[in-house]
Amino acid sequence: MAKKLIGTVLGLVLVVGALAGVKVLQFKTMFAQSAHAAAPPETVATSPVRRDALQATLDAVGSISSAQGVTLRAEMAGPIRHIAFESGAIAKAGDVLVELDSATEKAQLQAAEANAELVHINLDAARGLVGEGAISQNQFITLQAQAKQADAELSRLRALVAKKTIRAPFAGVLGLRLVNLGQFVNNGDPVVTLQALDPVYADFTLPQQRLAELKVGSPVHVTTDVFPSKEFEGSLSAINPEVEVATRSVRLRATLKNPDALLKPGMFVKIEVLLPATEQVLLVPATAIAYAPYGDSVYVVEKDPEGKGQIAKQKFVRLGASRGDFVVITKGLSANETVVTTGAFKLRNNAPIVINNDLKPEPSDRPNPSDT
């Protein structure tokens, strides 16, 4: 009985072992087939490497300042009797903006005018008398001095009355009104700002190493994120003769036309100084670049060595300056190559690809997004 039980158990073990061996062979066959199965090709968009002449530029950031800008302040103390402007209005040179109460000064001026008139009448009469010997020469000289004093007092009072009226020193745009009717202002209190906005200045700095490339009159292009689709043109108008010791940089100023007053003082801007030199460079769309800490790369379209279509070959490149939607390639590519611009993120080296350029976006040197 025991021998029969042992035989049965051994038979079962042999059957199970045989079944396990068969399954192992089946799994090995499946893995071998999947290892040799070709991955399906990825659909990508491509673009040829572009050779173009790139004008050399110096890039910087800066801020806008007005050609003329002041904060108008009260020159004398007194209550405000009249305000002749509104916030944000355009003023002409000489326009009256604010009048302070000047009743006392005007009364003094009238008295001084009467006194000066009397003194000059006496002086005219004395000219005839001194010739006839009716008065002495010393008396005539005294009358002349009195006439000069009266004229000086008249000029002083006229100046005081004029200082009670605040006028626009030049044409420009007024800021926010900082005073109210009837308010008492002291000497030096701010009244309103005045800015001349056409032209305007763009002030910026560049390292001293660039000083030899800079020349007054060089074209300048200015952009701002406030108006991303608009480019403002001007020229380099001034180079500071002194290099700042702390930063070893030189301060520069460009003059820009601003007829629509779009650029405001204090606005942050990006500045390009165009240099005379140009160079031939290779450009690829920025979407073709795979950025990585160990090195930037692109995928280049090549023929499959086995003749089964096309593959994407990874190449490491060295990048240069940006130009709109393009990036300059300084090393790693040649002009007769084609790079993958859409779908590169899902590729690996030597991956099979299918090219479909029907819906790819068209890069531009000066992009103008429609949703900005």
Q: Look at residue 33 and tell me if it is in a domain.
A: no
Average pLDDT value for residue range 199-218: 91
pLDDT surpassing 90 at residue 270? yes
Q: What's this model's pTM, rounded to 2 decimal places? A: 0.63
Q: Which two structure tokens, joined as six digits, stand for 95?
A: 């326009």
Helix H or strand E segment including 140:
helix 137-163
The answer on 184 and 86 residing in a single domain is yes
Q: Does 200 share its domain with 269? A: yes
C-alpha 307: how far from chain center: 52
Average pLDDT, the chain: 83
- CA–CA dist 241, 252 (Å, integer): 10
**Structural domain boundaries, residue 129:** 102-163
- Please report whether residue 25 resides in a domain: no
The more confident residue out of 20 and 275 is 275
pLDDT band at 324 (very low <50, low <70, confident <90, very high): confident
* Average pLDDT rounded to a whole number, residues 21-30: 59
Look at residue 13 and tell me if it is in a domain: no
pLDDT for 248: 92
Of 295, 330, 335, which is closest to residue 315 (Cα–Cα)?
A: 295
Report yes or no on 144 lying in a domain: yes
Distances (CA, A) of 274 to 220, 225, 290: 6, 20, 30
Q: Is the pLDDT of residue 164 over 70?
A: yes
What is the residue-wise DSSP string for 206-233? EEGGGGGG--TT-EEEEE-TTSTT--EE
Question: Where residue 191 falls among pLDDT bands split at 50, 70, 90?
Answer: very high
Predicted confidence (pLDDT) at residue 283 exceeds the cutoff of 70: yes
Identify whether residues 112 and 82 lie together within a single domain.
no
369 found inside a domain = no
- Say if 252 falls within a structural domain: yes
CA angle 288, 293, 298 (to 5 degrees): 20
Does residue 128 sit in the same domain as residue 272? no
pLDDT of res. 351: 87
Question: Dihedrals φ, ψ of 271, to 5°?
Answer: -125, 135
264 located within any domain = yes
240 with 285, same domain? Answer: no
The span from the first CA to the last CA of the chain, in angstroms, equals 93
Contact 254, 220 (CB under 8 A): yes
Can you read off the two tokens belonging to residue 40?
Answer: 């399906």
Burial 318-348 (b: 16+ CB within 10 A, else e): ebbeebebbbbbeebbeeebbbbbbbbeebe
- Do 62 and 211 lie in one domain? The reply is yes
Checking if the pLDDT of 132 tops 70, the result is no
We report the CATH number of the domain holding residue 203 as 2.40.30.170
**CB-CB contact of 269 with 202 (8 Å):** yes
pLDDT-derived band at 35 (thresholds 50, 70, 90) equals very low
Higher-pLDDT residue of 55, 5 = 55
- pLDDT level of residue 2 (50, 70, 90 thresholds): low
Higher local confidence (pLDDT), 218 or 278: 218
Q: Is the dihedral of CA 336, 341, 347, 353 positive or negative?
A: negative
Q: Where residue 149 sits, what CATH number does that domain have?
A: 1.10.287.470
CA–CA dist 338, 190 (Å, integer): 64
Number of domains forming the structure of the chain: 4
What's the pLDDT band for 128 if we cut at 50, 70, 90? Answer: low
Q: Does 267 fall in a domain? A: yes
